[in-house]
Amino acid sequence: MKKLLVLTGPQGSGNHMWSKIFALYPKAFGWRALLDEYWIGHDQEPFAEYWADPDKLKDFDWSRYDYFVTSISVPYMNNGEATIPKFKEFIRAVEDLGIKIEFAIIGRDQNIVKMQETRVRGEPTVDTAVAELKKLSGRMPHFLSYELLQLYRRAYLIQLNNILKFPVAHNDSRIDEILKEDANTKYFQPVEHYWVDDLAQHTSRKWQ
């Protein structure tokens, strides 16, 4: 059975990075234009018009691949307006075509996501995203971690390949380039001292 994987999550939680990772596998249909550009607006994502009008999915050419990936944030910007994806309509349209649809919800540190959303969109929208994505819980979605990918890299991708039952190009040499810049870094500042540091240092030594 053909399978469509939906990458979704709060704005700013790593949609573009994950789209690049899943576009590496040559026998899966993904957002390959991102592999040549650092960033492209979501209005140019391959399934963008179908999120706006899921009924059009019947006109999409499903014959070329067995695996497909689409990316959509919650909310996403539609002509400058924050818009909630039409998940129910999209799911129904895909399943009516006999295609299996699964969801991979992407995550990133919530404090960073809130700061990023406020910086780019003027206010945080992560609570809206979490509330909407809870409605997908009955579909047993998978969860993808930005931080785990940065930390464990290929080992994490190998695990995802097994869990998702979806092809992941974990040996592709371009992974290092995609993960070269950890976008979390710019939000961190060193903490000179915290009160629990003294306790940790004390318990790490032999008691006198």
Return the amino acid letter for 156. Y
Longest dimension (CA), the chain: 76
Asked whether the predicted pLDDT for residue 207 surpasses 60, the reply is no
Asked whether the predicted pLDDT for residue 206 surpasses 80, the reply is no
User: Residue 122 has what pLDDT?
Assistant: 92
Asked whether the predicted pLDDT for residue 39 surpasses 70, the reply is yes
Handedness of CA 157, 20, 86, 94 (dihedral sign): negative
Domains in the chain with CATH codes: 3-203 (3.40.50)
Q: Which residue has tokens 């497909």?
A: 68
| Residue of 1, 46, 24 lying closest to 160 (CA atoms) | 24
Bridge partner residues of 83 (DSSP): 76
131-181, pLDDT tens digit by residue?
A: 999 998 788 889 999 999 999 999 999 999 999 999 999 999 999 999 999
- What burial letters (b/e) apply to 121-156, b meaning 16+ CB within 10 Å? eeebbbebbeebbeebeeeeeeebbbeebbeeeeeb
45-103, pLDDT tens digit by residue?
A: 999 999 999 999 999 999 999 999 999 999 998 888 899 999 999 999 999 999 999 99
Asked whether the predicted pLDDT for residue 184 surpasses 60, the reply is yes
- CA 38 to the chain's CA centroid: 16
User: Residue 18 has what pLDDT?
Assistant: 98
DSSP of 32-84, one letter per residue?
GGGGTSS---GGGSTTHHHHH-GGGGGGS--SS-SEEEEEEEESEEETTEEE-
